Amino acid sequence: MIDDVIKQFKELDNKDLRILQGIEMGMKHYEWVPVEELMKFTRLPFAALEHKLRQLMRKKMVVATNTPYEGYQIYFDAYDALALNTFVKRGTVSAIGDEIGVGKESVVIEAVREAELGIGEPQGVIIKFHREGRTSFKSVKRVRSHLDDKEHFSWIYAARLAAKREADIMKQLYPDVAVPKLIDNNRHALVMEVAPGSLLYRTKLEDPEWFMNTIIDQLKATYGKGIIHSDISEYNIFVYDGGVQIIDWPQYVDTGHPQADELLARDVLNVLKYFKRKYNISRDQDEVMAYIKQVQES
């Protein structure tokens, strides 16, 4: 649970963080980071390092093996703590709140960011921790095309790459497409502005046809940028008075992708099916597809 991570993060000292950073760096080259490499990185005596490692294992931030040598890996909790440490040092966040969302490939928590130059009120923000690769890096590769050419990387790489990919596309789309404003990115975590309103599936709309058309307009604007979300549903669209905002972008593809038309059609169908099922509103899928694709062809 992220609450445990936050509690443990507050208890970590500089030596703990240095050890976690050493294991993180070592996992670029080793499946299990040898204790000898950690001694070089941390410059801690063997006895002191062993003591600290045992403490981190009790906190379930580190796991060890003795076969074929003494080596260590970090858990996601440790990776979360390292990202939080960076955000705090940068001044990106000043306080950490509650967990507000958990999915197969991410955990989302509330946080607070101090006003720039101390002028104005603190700002509520969201921290999204990517969890790609938590269960199986190979299974992630099967559904994430940006990993197809990567053969020997750990879950750290999968999660970090997914976060960078999402950060890059959010910066590319904002503000022309209704996505949250990205504030910071470190390792597998993103800090962004809080999306206004509530998720589509949780909201009873007074003018559902207007919202359906607004969502389609956002798909059109996205397509005009050469991008297809490829995983649109009522679970990643926020709605509010006057607009919508689309979240969860790491699986996007560009319009030159071999399956671009298929993925766009799936996005459109997901939207149309939801509004048909929930509000009995219909639009022709082919007409919507043609409307969206007019952007590049005009």
Number of domains in the chain: 3
Q: Is residue 20 part of a domain?
A: yes
| Domain residue limits at 35 | 2-77
**Which residues, in sequence order, are CB contacts of 98 under 8 Å at separation 6+?**
3, 109, 110
Which among 216, 227, 231 has a CA at the least distance from the CA of 282?
A: 216
182 and 222 inside one domain: no
d(CA 264, CA 42): 49
Q: Is residue 140 part of a domain?
A: yes
C-alpha angle 85-90-95 in degrees, rounded to nearest 5: 60
- Give the Å distances, CA to CA, from 22 to 4, 42, 122: 22, 7, 34
108 and 154, same domain (yes or no): yes
Catalytic residue among 3, 4, 148, 231: 231
The domain that holds 227 is classified in CATH as 1.10.510.10
Place of tokens 């969890």: 131
Cis peptide upstream of residue 122 (ω within 30 degrees of 0): no
CATH number at residue 101: 3.30.200.20
Question: End of a domain among 193, 224, 242?
Answer: 193
Rounded distance between C-alpha atoms, residue 89 and residue 191, angstroms: 14
Which domain CATH number covers 14?
1.10.10.10
- Give residue 6's pLDDT: 82
Residues 100, 130 within the same domain:
yes
51 with 65, same domain: the answer is yes
Q: Select from 171, 168, 194 the least CA-distant residue to 113.
A: 194
Q: Are residues 161 and 216 in the same domain?
A: no
Same domain, 72 and 95: no
Q: Are residues 127 and 65 in the same domain?
A: no
Let me know if 86 is exposed, middle or buried by CB neighbors in 10 A (0-12, 13-18, 19+). middle
* CA 158 to the chain's CA centroid: 11
Same domain, 99 and 148: yes
Identify whether 82 is part of a domain.
Answer: no
77 is catalytic: no
204 and 271 assigned to the same domain: yes
Question: How confident is the model at residue 184, as a pLDDT?
Answer: 98
Answer yes or no: is 83 within a domain. Answer: no
Compute the distance between CA of residue 242 and CA of residue 249 in angstroms, rounded to an integer: 22
How far is the first Cα of the chain from the last one, in angstroms, to the nearest whole number?
A: 50
- Statement to judge: residues 237 and 289 lie in one domain: yes
The pLDDT tens digits along the chain (298 residues) read: 677 788 888 899 999 999 999 999 999 899 999 999 999 999 999 999 999 999 999 999 999 999 999 999 999 999 999 999 999 999 999 999 999 999 889 999 999 999 876 788 999 999 999 998 765 444 444 445 544 444 445 788 899 999 999 999 999 999 999 999 999 999 999 999 999 999 999 999 999 999 999 999 999 999 999 999 999 999 999 999 999 999 999 999 999 999 999 999 999 999 999 999 999 999 999 999 999 999 554 4
What are the contacts of 272-279 at 24+ separation with CB within 8 A?
272/212, 274/200, 274/201, 274/233, 274/234, 275/208, 275/209, 275/212, 278/208, 279/205, 279/208, 279/209, 279/212
Residue 52, in any domain of the structure: yes
188 and 209 assigned to the same domain: no
pLDDT for position 140? 45
228, 279, 282, 259 alpha-carbon torsion, rounded to 10°: 20
Q: Are residues 165 and 237 in the same domain?
A: no
Rounded distance between C-alpha atoms, residue 130 and residue 138, angstroms: 16
Dihedral (CA of 177, 179, 183, 184) sign: negative
